[in-house]
Every structure is written in C-alpha cells, then in structure tokens.
C-alpha cells in the first residue's frame, strides 16, 4: 500500500509543489510521459510543473495528479497543511482498533477451547454472506473479526493431527482474508500488510488450492494498489499462483475454477493499469470463458467472480485504459442487479462513474455515485476515485452541478455538513 509519509520529510524550508510532484512521480516509478499521459497532459507540461516554470494548477488538476500518484493525503502533494484531505483512505472505522488488537494479540496460552474446525468454517461462511448482503459491511465484519481471529488461531494451535492443522490453517487464512477486506483503504497500511502476509503463510501451510488462490488474489491487489513501482510484484504472485492452480482445473470444484478465473482477470487488470490494451483484454476474454464454465447463477463467495461480474470487470479494464467512451458502453450493457454482492455492486457503480467522468459526462458520474451510496455507503466512503470526482465537481463553474456535488460530498462523508 502507498506510504503515508510526507515525501519531503522534516525540513526548515518548505518544498515547492514542483519538487513534491517530481519526488512523488519518481516514488511511483513513473516517467514524465507516463504521468502526463495518465492525466491528459504532455511530458513537457509535467517538466514545467516540476521545474516551477508553471504555477500550481487548479484543484481539479491537482486532484487528478493525486489520483494517478496514489497519494493518501493531499498535503503530500501540495505541502499545504490547510488542504489536509485523505484521498485513498477513509478516516478509520470505529472498529479498527478492536480488529488491530485481535491481529496483534499472540495467544500462546489460554484456557479457551477452540471450536471444531467445521463449526469455525461455517462461521466464516456466514461472515462472508453477511458482508455481501449488508450496506454497512465494515461494521458487520468488524464486529465478527476479533472472535474469528482468536478462535482460528487457537484451532491451529490445538490441532492434534496434521490434517486437522492443515484444515485449521485454511480457515485461518480465510479469516485473515476477511480482515483484509475490512482493513483496506483505512489509515493503517502496516496492518493491511500484516494480515495479507499472514493469509499467504497460513494458506501455504494449509496446502489448500482455494485458500492459496484467495490469499494470492488479495495480495495481488495490495501490491497493485501500491502504484506502478509495485506492478511487477503484483504480477509475480498472480502469475505464480495461476501456474500452480491451472493444472488442477480439470478435476477442480467450482470454487477453485472461480478463484482461478478471478486471478486470471487480475493479470488483465494490472496490464490495463500499465496501459497494455491487448494484454488486458486478452486476459479479460480468458477470464470470461472461465466464468462461462460456471453455473449461470454461481458467484464466488469471496471475490464475487461469476458470469454476472464480467461486465463490471470490462468497465474496470476500459477505465484503467482511460477509454471513457468504451467504459460507458460496457457500463450501459452491464446488468448491475445481477451482481449478488452489495459492496461489489457499489464498486461497479463507482467504476461506471469513473467511466462517465472520463467521457466528459460529470452529471452522469455523480448519478452513478448516488447509486453506489444506495447500494453500500461503506464502499463509497472509503473510495478515493469517488472522492476525487465529487470534490472536482464541487469546484465546477456550473452552479447546479457544484451544488449537487457539494451535497453529495456531505452525504458521502467527504465533507462536514
């Protein structure tokens, strides 16, 4: 995940906007042509900004740069403490402290008897179901996670046989994966990496293909969210896990086929973030073919991979490739009601909003974000792309649009009433 540290560090003299821009660009591993292309400007424009030959741009452009550079707080880019605004992280859920305490705990000795692994697995399944069905999914799983983490750890420690221990590790890995959904985009990057790495280790110990696939799927996303400098790491774990899973597919259950399909799409997603159009759509096509092998009403209980979600995935690919018209076309063709998960449905509305915004249709983008809020407020509240669109349009020259965006910023929790 991106660092929350100020790139300038403690200095007596304030660091200019252009210097900050250059340091953040280099930290993300972007060239000037790449940064310019991703923001709709030239490499020469970037060079002049960095050298101070151009003045600090207007807020919409600053927000666009912040999105591409994946800064977590606008002060990282502007240096102005009065513009303090977290972009790619929410303020921190009320239950974050409880979940962190459970992750940090190290139960070496206890009188508590671990529940049977089958019972624990049922609790985890119910937790995933609750997450997908609730508009306030972080609140729901935040309440469940402390007990699940403790019991899953104990199930591994108290296992008498090797097969029991492996089964316990599979459940523990899934609990940490659930925790990663809760922790993502909250202001504790170290905690996110702890749960991601523990999920990978427990999955390896379990030797369970599905657990391995899920942990790798989430680790891939964590690396990719770190920005272009981490895309190679995302690809390494993604492709390595696919090489492990693909030989198992002829005899695999639907869960393993689905997680393999989800990982296949992730390769395309990372390629789209790199601007590799052909590779991105080739992997999307392969993932769609895998989705078509699943029952028509199936959806994966963790990733939401299914036939229904492939339209939403197409919107994401088009958006990351900065193809506004194509992303709008895919958004219009996607049956959002067929996506079973409320958080995933909200995520699709946000991606559709990005597409409409890229296509020069800001009013439609704001309407999409309203739909996202209706589906799952806790998804949109922690989404940096949604925040960037709303705050940019709150600066619109059109009075009605500015009012709509400002009202939506309050509704979504980006600004105080």
Domain boundaries, the chain: 17-83, 92-207, 212-307
Q: Write the CB contacts of 212 (distance below 8 Å, at least 6 apart in sequence).
A: 203, 204, 206, 241, 244, 245
Radius of gyration of the chain (CA): 22
pLDDT for 176: 98
pLDDT for 250: 94
Q: Would you call 66 helix, strand, or coil by DSSP? A: helix
Q: Which of 266, 277, 255 is nearest to 221 (CA)?
A: 266
pLDDT for 415: 63
Task: Locate 342 and state its tokens.
Answer: 């409320």
Q: Each residue of 148-165: b (16+ CB within 10 Å) or e? A: bbbbbbbbbeebeeeeeb
Query: Domain 17-83 falls in which CATH fold?
Result: 434 Repressor (Amino-terminal Domain) (1.10.260)
pTM exceeds 0.75 for this model? yes
pLDDT for 83: 53
- Diameter over CA atoms, the chain: 69
Mind listing the pLDDT tens digit of every residue in the chain (417 residues)?
333 333 333 334 567 888 888 888 887 788 898 888 878 889 999 999 998 888 888 877 888 888 788 776 677 788 765 555 555 555 689 999 999 999 999 877 667 888 999 999 999 999 999 999 999 999 999 999 999 999 999 999 999 999 999 999 999 999 999 999 999 988 888 999 999 999 999 999 999 999 999 999 999 999 998 888 899 999 999 999 999 999 999 999 999 999 999 999 999 999 999 999 999 999 999 999 999 999 999 999 999 999 999 999 999 999 999 999 999 999 999 999 999 999 999 999 999 999 999 999 999 999 999 999 999 999 998 888 898 899 888 878 899 998 898 899 888 877 655
Task: Locate 404 and state its tokens.
Answer: 């709509």
Task: Locate 345 and state its tokens.
Answer: 């449905």
DSSP-H helix ranges across 293-361: 310-320, 324-333, 342-358
pLDDT for 110: 66
CB atoms within 10 A of CB 205: 17
pLDDT for 11: 39
101 burial (CB, 10 Å; 0-12 / 13-18 / 19+) is exposed
């Amino acid at each position: 995940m991106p660092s929350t540290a100020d790139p300038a560090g403690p200095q007596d003299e304030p660091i200019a906007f252009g210097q900050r821009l250059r340091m953040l660009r280099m930290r993300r591993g972007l060239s000037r042509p790449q940064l310019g292309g991703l923001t709709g400007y030239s490499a020469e424009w970037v060079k002049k900004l960095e050298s101070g030959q151009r003045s600090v741009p207007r807020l919409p452009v600053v927000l666009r740069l912040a999105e591409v550079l994946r800064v977590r707080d606008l002060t990282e880019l502007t240096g102005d403490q009065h513009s303090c605004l977290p972009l790619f992280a929410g303020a921190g859920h009320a239950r974050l402290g409880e979940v962190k305490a459970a992750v940090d705990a190290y139960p070496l000795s206890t009188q508590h008897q671990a529940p049977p692994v089958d019972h624990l697995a049922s609790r985890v399944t119910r937790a995933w179901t609750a997450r997908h069905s609730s508009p306030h999914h972080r609140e729901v799983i935040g309440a469940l996670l402390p007990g699940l983490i403790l019991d899953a750890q104990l199930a591994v420690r108290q296992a008498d046989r090797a097969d029991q221990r492996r089964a316990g590790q599979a459940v523990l890995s899934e609990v940490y994966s659930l925790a990663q959904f809760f922790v993502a985009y909250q202001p504790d990057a170290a905690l996110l990496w702890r749960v991601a790495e523990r999920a990978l280790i427990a999955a390896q110990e379990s030797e369970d293909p599905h657990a391995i696939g899920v942990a790798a799927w989430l680790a891939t996303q964590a690396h990719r969210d770190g920005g272009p400098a981490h895309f190679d790491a995302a690809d390494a774990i993604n492709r390595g896990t696919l090489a492990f899973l693909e030989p198992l597919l002829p005899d695999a259950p639907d869960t393993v086929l689905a997680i393999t399909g989800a990982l296949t799409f992730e390769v395309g997603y990372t390629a789209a973030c790199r601007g590799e159009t052909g590779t991105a759509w080739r992997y999307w096509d392969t993932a769609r073919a895998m989705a078509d092998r699943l029952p028509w009403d199936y959806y994966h209980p963790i990733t939401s991979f299914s036939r229904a979600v492939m339209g939403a995935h197409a919107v994401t690919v088009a958006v990351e490739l900065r193809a506004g018209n194509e992303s709008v076309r895919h958004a219009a063709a996607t049956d959002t009601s067929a996506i079973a998960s409320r958080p995933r449905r909200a995520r699709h509305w946000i991606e559709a909003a990005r597409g409409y915004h890229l296509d020069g249709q800001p009013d439609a983008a704001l309407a999409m974000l309203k739909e996202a809020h209706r589906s799952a407020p806790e998804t949109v509240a922690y989404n940096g792309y949604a925040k960037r669109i709303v705050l940019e349009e709150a600066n619109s020259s059109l009075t009605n649009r500015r009012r709509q965006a400002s009202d939506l910023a309050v509704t979504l929790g980006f600004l105080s009433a």
